Structure 1
């Protein structure tokens, strides 16, 4: 006795039922739920576009996917078609109407319009120096792919369907028919294969981003009964000895002396295209160690960063991160100290030993702590260098930590201080 036929399809020679369409990939690309409103779709796109834009260091191919997903989901009719038919529905127009083959190429998967699947792309890494990414370069590359030998033949086992049907007993006296992928062919066709060496020229455009892809259409592997695949070359940016890159901006670190920070500087930077760039401070400009606590002092030169991808005439900025090298251990002569006191701004509003009474009086009018110190003779204390820096902070206690609450009980046992528990915030 037979029940039902083949799950998910008819018998050989009859139209086969398609697999359920993937209707979530575009939503996942934008990072939203299928129930999202039009406003939520727009907000999600803007947020990810700012972060993934090629000018910000994003992958151009991933940015194209983001744009394509938004183009579909922001259009009410396209969104309905996608929710019902998936990517194939967009390519075929959801029935009547035009197609959208470009978005199908971007996201891949499923079968092509002519019913053939496309072979998975070959992916290779291309290492590129920052100079190559700045100036652009054409490189010759070689790779191996699977190639057909002769014409493919229709498989006699499955009749060219790629599927075989088997009788499966599910209980005594009960048999059903199940379908499985044919083990003798590839998609209904059989063919001899060989490894083939290919050589291509690949153009690395100016401003290309790290991890961006260069795609060569229909240059990949072949397979019987399938469309030829593509080749993807993924750019891997090499580290540079001088420059660090972020999007279209470049960064260098420059060590300068204290005298340069106060009186000005001029130095030459070798550019990525072989020029020599003279960088200098404006007259009287002072370089500080930090803008504020924890924020380093940087300056930039407009138009001396990386060319922007797609518009190489527009360039980013060159940032210079300064590190001020203070004088090494030693001492200054009394004459040098006098010159510095005369040239540099007045001290901050705290008492200065040896200051005249009029100056102290003015300080006292502004600062209460100064008023408390006036009239009392100050003890002299000299700072010494701490070899361990901040690592020595808190190590001035005794061997047991100097805990005043750790005392001996009358019975000689060690008594701990009160235990402090952390409360959860409401």
Structure 2
């Protein structure tokens, strides 16, 4: 028989006209292309047209009789001799899917088979309004923290997040679904950055699903502190090293090893700046902030008389 129109409309072969209408309305509302922006448009359009074609054939007594007797190919090719009660002048003329939809949900010109004058307005009314004609409200967005390490924010990473949410199914019943969302963390993102997944929040009957928003939150780091696009590191240094010099060894957030010679005399509160070793600047690819090393000079708690004498001599005092 080819295409199974009964299966497409989810009805049995003894379905009444009322059964066909009820099933068509439910399926057409579910599969209309304008209600499925997240699906591939061609897929939704094909499904919608298939549903409309099935209703067109099964709701027309002549078409249904030929289909039941000879099958879909014969119906469309006008091949079979007409069965009892079917006009010999019968020819298959498929109806437009939008015309059928408009007859159910308004917007037709009032003439049988006529095209919709305001199909877009009709669709918007039925898909985005409740039975009283009031626009559907959108559920407020759900915000969730996304704890992120400095290493991830430095190099970028991909996160897989499993979510569970409530949606309204094709039968207008709340149901719980689980999904895996991919979050692509970009190098240089800052605390408070929002990642929005439209309509991935919860949904109540008669509403539009809310958005799901993840807020980037920086985890504390054992060595570095972020200041805008700069990285700060506190370095303790002895008075001797502050006066005579020292070589610092640091491991960057992407695992590189920096060797930093300290040549000049370091005073308490001094800061050394290493350019282009800070955080990536997300809006300026290839550029980074600075690494700022803040020195904490440790003074000895006490000195012997001999040490004091040596210091005076070394520093030029008698």
Shorter-chain TM-score category? 0.5 to 0.7
Q: Answer yes or no: is 1:131 the counterpart of 2:131.
A: no
Contact 2:248 2:262 in 1 (8 A): no
Return structure 1 stretches of 4+ with deviation > 6 angstroms.
Answer: none
Q: Answer yes or no: is 1:193 the counterpart of 2:174.
A: yes
SS in 1 for 2:240: helix
Contact 1:254 1:320 in 2 (8 A): yes
Q: How many residues align?
A: 186
SS in 1 for 2:279: strand
Q: Answer yes or no: is 1:309 the counterpart of 2:282.
A: yes
Task: Identify the structure with bigger relative contact order (alpha carbons < 8 Å, sequence gap 6+).
Answer: 1
* Aligned with residue 243 of structure 1, among 224, 239, 245: 224
Aligned mates of 2:149, 2:316 — CA distance in 1: 47
* Aligned with residue 297 of structure 2, among 304, 320, 324: 324
Question: Which residue number in structure 2 is paired with residue 288 of structure 1?
Answer: 267
SS in 1 for 2:241: helix
CA shift in 2, pair 1:312/1:262, >3 Å:
same
Aligned mates of 1:331, 1:147 — CA distance in 2: 78
**Map of 1:21-420 to 2, 5 A cutoff?**
115-151=135-171, 191-282=172-263, 285-289=264-268, 296-333=269-306, 336-344=307-315
CA shift in 2, pair 1:345/1:196, >3 Å:
farther
Contact 1:207 1:312 in 2 (8 A): no
Q: Please, what TM-score do these two structures have when normalized by structure 1?
A: 0.41
Q: Please, what TM-score do these two structures have when normalized by structure 2?
A: 0.54
Gaps of 5+ in 2: 1-128
Deviation track 1:231-259 (CA, whole Å, cap 9, x = no partner) reads: 10111211111111111111111111111
CA shift in 2, pair 1:132/1:345, >3 Å:
farther
SS in 2 for 1:272: coil
Contact 2:174 2:205 in 1 (8 A): no
Gaps of 5+ in 1: 1-110, 152-190, 290-295, 347-354, 356-426
Aligned mates of 1:345, 1:271 — CA distance in 2: 41
Compare 237-246 and 213-222 and name the one that shifted more. Answer: 213-222
CA shift in 2, pair 1:345/1:314, >3 Å:
farther
Which structure has more helix as a fraction of its residues?
A: 2
Contact 2:276 2:290 in 1 (8 A): yes
Aligned mates of 2:316, 2:201 — CA distance in 1: 70
Aligned mates of 2:287, 2:206 — CA distance in 1: 46
Contact 2:167 2:209 in 1 (8 A): no
Displacement after TM superposition at 1:321 (Å): 1.3
Aligned mates of 1:217, 1:332 — CA distance in 2: 74
CA shift in 2, pair 1:318/1:343, >3 Å:
same
Aligned mates of 1:252, 1:305 — CA distance in 2: 11
SS in 2 for 1:305: coil
Question: Which residue number in structure 2 is paired with residue 365 of structure 1?
Answer: none
Displacement after TM superposition at 1:267 (Å): 1.1
Which structure has more strand as a fraction of its residues?
A: 1
